[in-house]
Amino acid sequence: MNGLERKAPSIVLGGIAATFLMAGGQANAATCPADDPLTAIAAPGFTCTIGDAIFSDFSFSTNLATHVLFSVNPMTGDVVVTFSRDGLNYPTGANKFDYTVALISGLPPGTSIVEHTLGVDVSTAIPPTTITDHFKGDNSGNHVINASNGTTVAMPISPGDMTEVVMLTATQPARAQLNSLTNDFGTVMETAVPEPTSLSLFGLGLLGLGFASRRRS
C-alpha cells in the first residue's frame, strides 16, 4: 500500500496496553462492553476504550433497551461497533445513533483511520429501511454513506483521521425490521521506506565491516 501496512493483532494488543499506561482522561475510561443496553452507554460522561480506539459522546433517539456491542476483528485489528436489535424492535421513523471515535494516544507515528464501513442487517426486505451515515473526520472532513437492506459499504478515507464524529440515522417504515447497524474502523500504520541514499550508505557500511573482518583474520 505504498508505505502503509494494515495493523497486525499485536498492534491492537499494544494499543490496549498503552491505554492503561496513559495519564489523563483516557486512562480512566472503562473497557468497552461486549454487549450492553443503550441506556448504559447513554449515561452522561460515558467513555470507553477497545483496541486502539476510544468512544465517547453517545447520544441516541431510539429504543434505549436495544443493545450496543464492541469488538476487535482478530484478523485485521479493526475496531467494530454494532447497534443491535437483540430481540427488541426499533421504533418506526427515524432512529438516531451519534457518537465520537478517536484513536488513543501513544500509537506509532502515522497511525490513522483510513477506512469507514457501514453494515446494515434487516429481517424484512420490504419495505426498505434507509440508513444515512454522516461522519466528520478531523483531517478528511465531511462524508455521507447511504445504505439499505443488508448492504455493506466501505469508504476509504484520505487523509486518515485521528477522530471521527459519527451520526447514524435509520429511517424505518412501518412493518420493516432493522436488525443491526455496524461501523468498522480500519486503521493503518505508516512505515518508513528507506530512500536510495540511505540504502547506499547502509551497503557501504556492510562493505566496510567486511574489509575490517578480513584484516583482523
pLDDT digits (tens, 9 = 90+) for 184-197: 999 986 654 444 54
How many other C-beta atoms are found inside a 10 Å radius of the C-beta of residue 62? 20
Predicted pLDDT of residue 72: 96
pLDDT band at 205 (very low <50, low <70, confident <90, very high): very low
pLDDT band at 19 (very low <50, low <70, confident <90, very high): very low
Predicted TM-score (pTM) of this structure = 0.76
Got the DSSP string for 79-137?
EEEEEE-TTS-PPSEEEEEEEEEEEPTTPPTT-EEEEEEEEEEES--SSPPEEEEEEEE
Round to whole Å and give the CA distance between 150 and 87.
18
Residue 132 CA to residue 72 CA, distance in Å, equals 24
Helices (H), the chain: 9-21, 38-41, 196-216
Q: Per-residue pLDDT for 208 more than 60?
A: no
Place of cell 530512500: 195
The 10s digit of each residue's pLDDT in 130-158 is 999 999 999 999 999 999 888 999 999 99
pLDDT at 201 > cutoff 80 = no
For the chain, the first-to-last Cα distance in angstroms comes to 45
Amino acid 180: pLDDT: 95
Is the pLDDT score of 57 beyond 80?
Answer: yes
Mean predicted confidence (pLDDT) in 125-132: 91
User: Looking at residues 28-49, what average pLDDT do you find?
Assistant: 92
